[in-house]
Amino acid sequence: MPMKKYRFTFIFLFVCIVLSHAYAQKYSLTIAIEGAKQARGKMQIGLFDKEDDFLVKGAEFKVLTVAVDSLSTQARFNDLPLGKYAISLYHDLDSSGEINRNFIGIPVEPYGISNDAWHLLSAPRWEEASFVVDTDKFIVIHLKH
């Protein structure tokens, strides 16, 4: 009888370890940013993991700043847990750290949204911009001018 108890304990612990490893898996997200017209400034990239926080400055899950030294730029987020994400980015031509806008609030610096979701007169919705990271992923975002 005691041998069965130890066998059950071993199997239980083994299953717990396997399941915890599956849930603790981390992934990378590589972003190719296409359409820059000038090789200068910085690309400011925000990764969002919650619908309610999407496009809220300061509410990003992770942020990257990448120097722009060619007309196509790549950036990478590492150690991402399984989940749903969306990206908002802009080409900070003057390296001011803020996106420049015209008098009615429309960006005058190039910007992009994951899934190339954008609207002429309104911000894109989470459903349009979000995607699932469940493996190492590579996406392309095209800048809007």
Q: Could you give the 3-state DSSP secondary structure of residue 1?
A: coil
Instruction: Establish if 2 belongs to a structural domain.
Output: no
Q: What is the pTM of this model?
A: 0.83
The answer to whether residue 9 is domain-embedded is no
Task: Indicate if the pLDDT at residue 111 is higher than 90.
Answer: yes
What is the count of structural domains for the chain?
1
Kindly tell me if the per-residue pLDDT of 67 is higher than 80: yes
Say what the pLDDT of residue 119 is. 80
Confirm whether 49 is domain-assigned: yes
DSSP 8-class letter at 134: S
Please state, rounded to an integer, the average pLDDT across all residues of the chain. 89
pLDDT band at 22 (very low <50, low <70, confident <90, very high): low
| Tokens, residue 131 | 């995607």
Percent pLDDT > 70 in the chain is 84
Q: Report whether 136 contacts 80 (CB < 8 A).
A: no
Number of C-alpha atoms within 13 angstroms, CB side, residue 36? Answer: 22
Is position 15 within any domain? no
Establish if 55 belongs to a structural domain. Answer: yes
Task: State residue 5's pLDDT score.
Answer: 61
CATH code at position 132: 2.60.40
Position 10 in a domain:
no
- Is 4 contained in some domain? no
3-state SS assignment for residue 113 = strand
Domain that holds residue 102: 26-142
Neighbours of 106 (CB within 10 A): 10
List pLDDT tens digits, range 94-106. Answer: 999 999 999 988 8
